[in-house]
Amino acid sequence: MTFTLIFLATLAISVLLRYWLAQRHIRHIQAHRASVPQNFADRIDLESHQKAADYSIAKTRLDNLHLVLETALLLAFTLGGGIEVLYGLWHGLLGSGLWQGTALILSVFAISTLVEIPLGFYSAFSIDARFGFNKMTPALFFTDLAKQMLLGAALGIPLLLGVLWLMGRMGEYWWLYVWSAWMGFNLLVLAVYPTFIAPLFNKFTPLEDTTLKERVGQLLQKCGFRAQGFYVMDGSKRSTHGNAYFSGFGKSRRIVFFDTLLERLGHDEIVAVLAHELGHFKHRHIIKRIALMAAMSLAGLWLLGWLMDKEWFYHGLGVTTPGTATALLLFLLAMPVFTFLLHPLMSFYSRRNEFEADRYAAKNASADDLVRALVKLYNDNASTLTPDPLHSAFYDSHPPAAIRIAHLQAHASI
């Protein structure tokens, strides 16, 4: 009972906080809609600025709707008795054991995905379409969804069977075994992602522009970086938003450009964007992120090991059948409610990494080119230039436009 109250109070705080931040964000954008911020006055016209404002507001309103749906689902599954019903259903079909546990957990996530389809559909075909970003057809939307669900089952079923087996068999220190298995699984997915997973959704063709290849080659050499190949991804199949990234590691490392990025940016700007991405590698941001995730999942699994024998943990969340599968499921559902308040810390850490990568780009390519590229991308993606500072501090993985550009300009002369 006490735990139910703690859970509900924490949930209420995080929902209200998220709603309040969203409303602040909307009001802040509206208040700055009338004119382009001074630093951008000669780079971005009023029409684009207002489009970005309207787009950001529409997206934030959708986030609010998502928040309501997510909270309703969480309450329906836990205190509303949804898990109890599904547990009984699978018990009748499969008896009790590993398969029942796996089916229970997967069905909860499948139902959440299905319930959220209308929001994804609305986001692409109403909001993005209205602003001219959507390139998807409904057929592609549903094929993507089907592929994602099949992929989720293909990866999720063996993973869950393995984890539940270890939880039941490995005694007091099962959480160490599960942690090793979880880390191995993640590294495996990272390793096979470029060759087996990404091609399920996009086409990758080798970059053909020889002048650009030469320019990129020079940058890599200067930075002492080797890549297996340069590829162009047909991002334009889904949206007009552009990007560039690295994927894979070790020998299979490749550089991927969105076709939309190549279309919009000049060679100098592409080199600057790539130098920023190289900065993430050189400063070991990816490895550090993996290490952080490893430490957090170890702590989480240890905590789950402790919670698993506590009756109040199950009863407090509306479940009457203690066991490995219900413990894992409740943990996965309830944990984000409690860790939500860590969000600003993670965002802060991520923004610090972005500054570091920007400095690297300023040193090895050109800060001016990166600024030009970013302004084009902000413009094309209709990212607001005037986010609410608190909303941004809480959520943004990248520094707000004005601060990021000022930071780059400070490094332009070096």
Region near Zn ion per CB under 5 A, out of 79-87, 183-191, 355-363, 372-380: 355-363
* Minimum distance, C-beta of residue 358 to Zn ion, in the bound complex (Å): 8
Token representation of residue 185: 């699984």
Nearest to Zn ion of 316, 399 (CB atom): 399
* Minimum distance, C-beta of residue 325 to Zn ion, in the bound complex (Å): 38
Region near Zn ion per CB under 5 A, out of 26-34, 251-259, 301-309, 348-356: 348-356
d(CA 388, CA 65): 19
In the block, tokens 């550090």 appear at 288
* Minimum distance, C-beta of residue 367 to Zn ion, in the bound complex (Å): 15
d(CA 389, CA 257): 31
Longest Cα separation, the chain: 71
* Minimum distance, C-beta of residue 376 to Zn ion, in the bound complex (Å): 16
Nearest to Zn ion of 340, 355 (CB atom): 355
Q: Which residues of 358-369 are buried (b: 16+ CB within 10 A; e: fewer)?
A: bbbbbebbbbbb
Nearest to Zn ion of 202, 243 (CB atom): 243
Token representation of residue 311: 């009756």
Region near Zn ion per CB under 5 A, out of 83-91, 148-156, 238-246, 357-365: 357-365
d(CA 92, CA 104): 12
Nearest to Zn ion of 18, 404 (CB atom): 404
* Minimum distance, C-beta of residue 215 to Zn ion, in the bound complex (Å): 20
Q: Where does residue 62 rank: exposed (0-12), middle (13-18), buried (19+ CB within 10 A)?
A: middle
Please provide the size of the chain in residues: 414
Q: x/- string (CB under 5 A) for Zn ion, residues 20-39?
A: --------------------
* Minimum distance, C-beta of residue 279 to Zn ion, in the bound complex (Å): 8
Eight-class DSSP state of 242: -
How many other C-beta atoms can be found within 10 angstroms of the C-beta atom of residue 203? 12
Nearest to Zn ion of 200, 293 (CB atom): 293
Which of 166, 294, 282 minimizes the C-alpha distance to 220?
282
Residues 123-162 that bind Zn ion (CB under 5 A): none
Nearest to Zn ion of 18, 241 (CB atom): 241
d(CA 406, CA 408): 5
| Total residues binding Zn ion (CB under 5 A) | 2
Region near Zn ion per CB under 5 A, out of 94-102, 112-120, 353-361, 389-397: 353-361
Region near Zn ion per CB under 5 A, out of 11-19, 189-197, 354-362, 385-393: 354-362
Distance of CA 362 to the CA centre of its chain: 26
Nearest to Zn ion of 91, 283 (CB atom): 283
* Minimum distance, C-beta of residue 277 to Zn ion, in the bound complex (Å): 7
Query: Which residues lie closer than 8 Å to 382 by C-beta, 6 or more apart?
Result: 48, 51, 52, 55, 56, 131, 133
Are 316 and 1 in contact by the 8 Å Cβ rule? The answer is yes
Region near Zn ion per CB under 5 A, out of 15-23, 89-97, 125-133, 356-364: 356-364
* Minimum distance, C-beta of residue 350 to Zn ion, in the bound complex (Å): 9
How many other C-beta atoms can be found within 10 angstroms of the C-beta atom of residue 83? 27
Nearest to Zn ion of 121, 225 (CB atom): 225
Are 191 and 310 in contact by the 8 Å Cβ rule? The answer is no
Token representation of residue 397: 């993985």
* Minimum distance, C-beta of residue 131 to Zn ion, in the bound complex (Å): 24
Nearest to Zn ion of 108, 244 (CB atom): 244
Region near Zn ion per CB under 5 A, out of 34-42, 102-110, 349-357, 382-390: 349-357
* Minimum distance, C-beta of residue 216 to Zn ion, in the bound complex (Å): 17
Are 26 and 53 in contact by the 8 Å Cβ rule? The answer is no
d(CA 17, CA 393): 13
Nearest to Zn ion of 195, 397 (CB atom): 397
Site residues (CB under 5 A) for Zn ion?
354, 357
